[in-house]
Structure 1
Amino acid sequence: MLDRIGGEVARATTIVRFAPGHSFSPHTHGGGEEYVVLDGVFQDEHGDYPTGTYVRNPPTSRHTPRSDAGCTILVKLWQFDPGDRNQFSKDMAEGLVSVGGGVQSAELHRDAREVVNYFELDPGAALHVNAPGGIEVFVLNGSLMESGEGVRQRSWLRLPDGHAFAGAAGDDGAKLWMKTGHLRFVAAPA
C-alpha cells in the first residue's frame, strides 16, 4: 500500500503481486481502476497484458483478474471522473516521441481532470514538469535524482499542487510513469 484514503472501499495506490496461477473473483470497479504491469503478464477476460502495459478500467467496468505465470502491477483505485467510460489498454512505449535533451514521451491518457504520460530518459537527461493539480511519479526502471534525493526503480513519489518535478536520470537512464492534475480531486469514495 502506497496511499489510501477511505475505509473498506478506498481511493488507493498499491503495488500488487500475483503469484503464478492466482486469480480474484469477478468484481465491478465502482470508482474505476488503472494499472501498469511492472513484470510478468496480467490477464482477465479482456486480454493478456504484458510488462509495460497501461490499462484503464473505468467506473462500472467488470472483470475477473488473474495471472497464469505471475505478475506485479501498480494499481490505482477510485481515481476516475465518475462519468468516464473509456476502457482501454496500451503498450506504454508505443508512440514515443523525442521531446529533446535525451527525453522521449508518450501520452497515455488525457481528460479534463488529469494527464498520464510515460517517459524514457537517457543517462543524465533532465525532465522538468510544472503541472497544476499535483504530480505522481513511479520509477519503472533505472534511477534519478529529484530535488537532491536519489530515487530508484520501483519508487513512488507524489508532489502536491504547486510543486514542480525536476528530475535527472542516473547513469542507467530512467523510465517513468507520471500522472498530473488529479490531486485536486482527492477525496474518499462515498
Structure 2
Amino acid sequence: MSNPFKTVASSNISISELMLPSHTNFSGKIHGGYILSLLDQIAFACASKFSGNYCVTASVDTVNFLNPIEVGELVTMKASVNYVGKSSMIIGIRVESENIQTGKIKHCNSSYFTMVSKDKDGTNARVPGLILSNLEEVRRFCNCLKQIALKKEQDRHEENFNYSATETLASLQKYNVQVALD
C-alpha cells in the first residue's frame, strides 16, 4: 500500500432512498429491519472504500432507533470510518429522514458497525491508518476507544460472573422474573 494513512474524509459515503409503502411494518412506519439492511450496505461500502478490500460485518455494536420514518420521506445515510485497528474498522452511520414536501429533517438513527477487511484468500487484511483532521474526528475516535474498553470489560464480566451462585439467584427476586430451574 503506497499511503499507509488515509483521512476520515476519504471514507465518507452517503446514500439516499425514498421510502416506499413496500418498506413498512404493520404499524405503517418504515420497518426497522429494512433500515438495518441499508445500514449494513453502507457500512460495507464505507469500509471497503477506505480499506480497498472486501469487508465483512464483525458486529453491529449500536443501533439507536430515535424517530420513526414515514412512507414518502427521503432517507439519507451518512457513514465514515471512526476508528481503525489492524484489520478492523468502526463505521459510524447517521440516518436522517426528510419530509420532501415540508423540508423538515429529523435524525432517526445512529449506528456503529465493526467491519473487518479481508484479502482475496479470506484472511484478515491490514487497513490504512487513520488521519484525524479535526476535533470532531478526534472525539469520534476517542468514543470508539471507550466503546472497545466497555466491550472488553463486559466480556471479562461474562467470563467471571457466577450465575448459579445463591446470592445471584436471590438478587433476582427484586425483578419481574421467576426463577424455576429444573
Q: In which range does the TM-score fall when normalised by the shorter chain?
A: under 0.3
Write 1 or 2 for the structure with the bigger share of helix: 2
Q: Which has the larger radius of gyration?
A: 2
TM-score (norm 2): 0.23
Write 1 or 2 for the structure with the bigger share of strand: 1
